[in-house]
Amino acid sequence: MTKPEPSAQGVACCDVVNRGPAYSNGRVFYNVLDGHTVAIDANTGKEIWKTKLGDINIGESITMAPLVAKGKVLVGNSGGEFGVRGWIAALDEGTGKLLWKAYNTGPDSEVLIGPDFKPFYDQDRGKDLGVSSWPPDAWRIGGGNVWGWISYDPDLNLLYHGTGNPGPWNAEQRPGDNKWTAGIFARDLDTGKARWFYQWSPHDLYDYDGINENIILDMDWQGQPRKVIVRPERNGYVYILDRTTGEVLSAVPFVPVTTTSGVDLKTGKLRYNADKAPLVGKVVRDMCPASPGGKDWNPSAFSPKTGLLYLPHNNLCMDLEEVQANYIEGTPYVGAEVRMKAGPGGHRGVFSAWDIAAAKEKWAIDEPFPVWSGAIATAGNVVFYGTMEGWFKAERRDGRDAVAV
């Protein structure tokens, strides 16, 4: 097993983690904290190739699980809290050779935006928005990392990946929408070229990111068959998007939300509440959800038997004060003082079932702490999740008869 450089631990935000390997054609692929992707023989453990993609000296690390599709190993970087510019890359499964690399801030040529890029909403159309929606040169240290989950649709030959928060957290230092952060890209798997983009949280004020898992479904929506992505997002809304176009079909809160008042389905824009906008030198209280979001990295599970999405998530609010952030390569670049607390009801976590077709919660179980495990739904009418107290719980899919071990 490849060992990362010890100094990589000092630039790992947020914690020294690895989110898992991938397997394909007798090989195991995994990422290393110090910026390498490695392939080993699954039978012998012998290293086949090792490719360096990141630079720990600037605060860049790799914590995500790779995805393998059509002979390509897909990898993204971490480091938004260090002013690291986000990207996603494709490596050749057999050799580790870099096939393409797309940045998530900067000029169109580096974001791989060209004639095939056709976003659904007007605000995402224009030349070099990854530059003009930032103060001069701020996009170079602007975040937008791909430290979360990637999905692939073989019928459309499109991969879908979220983009992380813009840097720094202090939003007053980066006026503009800060594209292409806190959103989702659809890209051609073969070339990496962008097909569409949607921004969950333009000019992200709360570190909501946009990296959560994509639930890919083919379903009837309001009487019409649609290819959709279902996304329980950190900003507190469960989104349903048409995955061929990026159109938002639905966006409904699944947690208490005070920071915004909803999503305009005509424009796709998130409506921020002015009285909860963070400010330099002032503590703004009771922002819900807190920066870990309504749901963070903890994956949900979908059951085709019930049509329900099972969500392990948070019930957290925060008080926040912005402070000046100074960029020094390889050091934290944040600019915020945060105090988190339990949300309405006094509990900090929830495990819930979400009716996708009806766009509403079916049932919920309150937990004293955030539910930071993933979930799994089985054909035996049981759903599993874990708690921060160390319990492994099994629930009937109607939310009754809990068993904990």
Q: Count CA atoms closer than 13 A to 198's CA, side-chain side.
A: 27
Select from 328, 278, 14 the least CA-distant residue to 170.
278
In contact, 353 and 362? CB cutoff 8 Å = yes
Residue 226 C-beta-side C-alpha neighbours within 13 Å: 20
Task: Assess contact for 174 and 166: CB atoms under 8 A.
Answer: yes
178 catalytic residue (yes or no): no
Is residue 56 within 8 A of residue 32, CB to CB? The reply is no
User: Is 315 considered catalytic here?
Assistant: no
User: Catalytic site residue 188?
Assistant: no
- Catalytic choice (34, 60, 81, 322): 81
Q: Which of 207, 209, 213, 321 is catalytic?
A: 207
Q: What's the rounded Cα separation, in Å, for the pair 199 and 181?
A: 7
If one counts every other C-beta atom within 10 angstroms of the C-beta of residue 99, the result is 17
Joined together, the tokens standing for residue 203 give 């000019």
CA 278/CA 138 separation, integer angstroms: 20
Torsion (CA) 112, 156, 244, 68 in degrees, nearest 10: -60
Q: Cα separation of 319 and 311, whole Å?
A: 25
Sole residue written with tokens 């935006």: 113
Helix (H) or strand (E) holding 132: helix 129-132
Torsion on CA atoms 175, 176, 179, 183, rounded to nearest 10: 90
CA angle 298, 177, 147 (to 5 degrees): 30
Peptide bond just before 368 cis, omega within 30 deg? no
Q: Which of 139, 298, 136, 289 is nearest to 212 (CA)?
A: 298
CA–CA separation, 73 and 56 (whole Å):
21
Alpha-carbon distance of 133 to 202, in angstroms, equals 10
Structure tokens at 276: 């909860």
Catalytic residue, chosen from 104, 165, 178, 235, is 165
Catalytic amino acids?
81, 165, 207
